[in-house]
Structure 1
Amino acid sequence: MGVDKVKKMVPSLHGKVSDEEWEERVNLAACYQLVAHYGMTDLIFTHISARVPGEDNQFLINPYGLFFDEITASSLIKVDIDGNVLDETPFKINPAGYTIHSAVHGARHDVACVLHTHTTAGMAVSAQKQGLLPLTQNSLMFYNCLAYHGYEGIALDLDERERLVRDLGDSIAMILRNHGLLTVGGTVSEAFRRIYYLEKSCEAQIKALAGGSEIIIPPREVCEHAVAQFQSFGSRTTLEWPGLLRILDRKGSNYRD
């Protein structure tokens, strides 16, 4: 679908929503395009959501059918926890996306953004019985902070939401077994940072195990020290986010439309 055609289908919402919602829309659209930029997409079949500022029961999600590098601030669809679409839009939402994201937003009010991917490395680790190993500094960001959810088929059954939320608990990320990766964040930028490093951790694990040499796992006390160091930084204010937006701006991205 051409950019001009999408523009005609999606009138700008700039000035028609609150300043806070517009800013969140811009950040979420940027997040979609950054996921595309870093090669973490699966055609149109994954999803990222962000809670509408000031609204506990409303969130923004992608229009089903657009590629991630086509998504703009105005094209994002506002839905409530019950699945009602609150925007006038020619698009639908992904039913599996609604199941997963409504579950997390409904249960975790500390979470502003939920990000889900089906990358090759993420799916590969999701199929390994031992899960993510503490092999690298990147993976230690998730030491004792990573949850697992068993595969139940395509996430279309609403009763899976209870088990998904139970398994996620208060973790910052989750591996969906035989499926993919999921991160949450108090901001869009925090969720993106986490998926970026969770993906790199999975890529490193697949390559390290494929190398055939004996691997080194740091002692438990070192792992605990490293994750405590990560947590001490505080990650909601992500210093790299403005630079990531500049990458999109240099490419001439339309994420702000």
Structure 2
Amino acid sequence: MLDLGNRVSIYQPEQEGLIYPELPEFDNFEDERRHRKERLVAACRAFDQQGFDYGFAGHLTVRDPERPELYWTNPMCVHFAKVKMSNLILVDHKGTVIEGNHAVNRAGFVLHANVHEEHPDIIAMCHAHTVYGTAWAATGLPIEPITQDACAFFEDHVIIGDEAGAVAVENHAGSNVAKAFKGVKAAIHQNHGLLTASRHSIEAAAFWFIALERCCQQQLDIAASGIQPTYVKPDRARYSREHVGSEYIGWLHFQTIWGQLVEDQPDMFD
């Protein structure tokens, strides 16, 4: 184990006075709520940049800091590129829209509400119908430690085979997904796609979704090549996961995306 002193990560500079992202601190719920909503919008815009749209499919959620039994989510039938502060909706675990004018995605409500209710520590969750994640989910296989990036998910994701391929529209349909998220940040729902969750931030949940999709693409590319990959040994995979797969690292990666979006897409704050 490396001695990090009072640092959270090896990536935090030891030298003082350098420009580097700092974790936010809040004086009140209002400021924290705005922060979470802004990052939720940014996560939706990031999903647009990645080409994760598929009609109305795809839903991202983050708990309200003051009323944790409620969560903010993207509105039904609004493209990721058009999600903004003013059209987010606040939903309870029964699917009732508490704030906002748009309807909620039924499947999104069922899956996310079950996870949020089962795990009070989970702050945010992401799901989208992506090309590579959906394709890899059809194999029913986990992500293997074939790259340093893939090691971020080593022993930190699960395969959900129950009710594989059946769309989650009934209230009980998300229960198996919820149970699967105990102690992990990601799940591959067989014949469906990818889900990520974070006990840290919407930024971490969103980045690890983007990263998991890339890992699925790498798995499929290597499988298509017919070449047998060399696996990272378990002890090295765990070491890499510790330093490149934490919630903090997911948050830190997203700061690059956030900076670009703030500069290029100021309409997301409308």
Q: When the two structures are superposed, what TM-score results if normalisation uses the length of structure 2?
A: 0.83
2:148 partner letter: Q
2:86 aligned residue: 74
SS in 2 for 1:60: strand
Cα distance in 1 for residues equivalent to 2:154 and 2:169: 30
Quote how far apart the aligned CAs of 1:152 are: 5.1
User: Which of the residues 237, 246, 251 maps onto 2:259?
Assistant: 246
Quote how far apart the aligned CAs of 1:140 are: 0.7
SS in 1 for 2:175: helix
Quote how far apart the aligned CAs of 1:88 are: 4.2
Query: Gaps (5+ residues) in structure 1?
Result: 1-16
1:110 aligned residue: 121
Quote how far apart the aligned CAs of 1:193 are: 1.7
SS in 2 for 1:86: strand
Cα distance in 1 for residues equivalent to 2:250 and 2:209: 16
1:56 aligned residue: 68
Cα distance in 1 for residues equivalent to 2:81 and 2:241: 33
1:139-198, CA deviations, whole angstroms, 9 ceiling, x for partnerless residues? Answer: 110111101212151111211222221222221110111111011112011112211211
User: Which of the residues 100, 103, 106 maps onto 1:92?
Assistant: 103
Kindly report the root-mean-square deviation, in angstroms, between the aligned alpha carbons of the 2 structures. 1.9
Query: Gaps (5+ residues) in structure 2?
Result: 1-28
Q: Structure 1 65/234 Cα, relative in aligned 2: closer, same or farther at 3 Å? A: closer
Instruction: Report percent identity of matched pairs.
Output: 23
| Alignment map for 1:81-230 (pairs within 5 Å) | 81-89=93-101, 91-150=102-161, 151=164, 153-185=166-198, 186-230=200-244
SS in 1 for 2:268: coil
- On the 8 A contact 2:55/2:77 being kept in 1, the answer is no
1:219-245, CA deviations, whole angstroms, 9 ceiling, x for partnerless residues? Answer: 2232233223335x6516833434312
Number of aligned pairs? 239
1:211 partner letter: S
SS in 1 for 2:98: coil
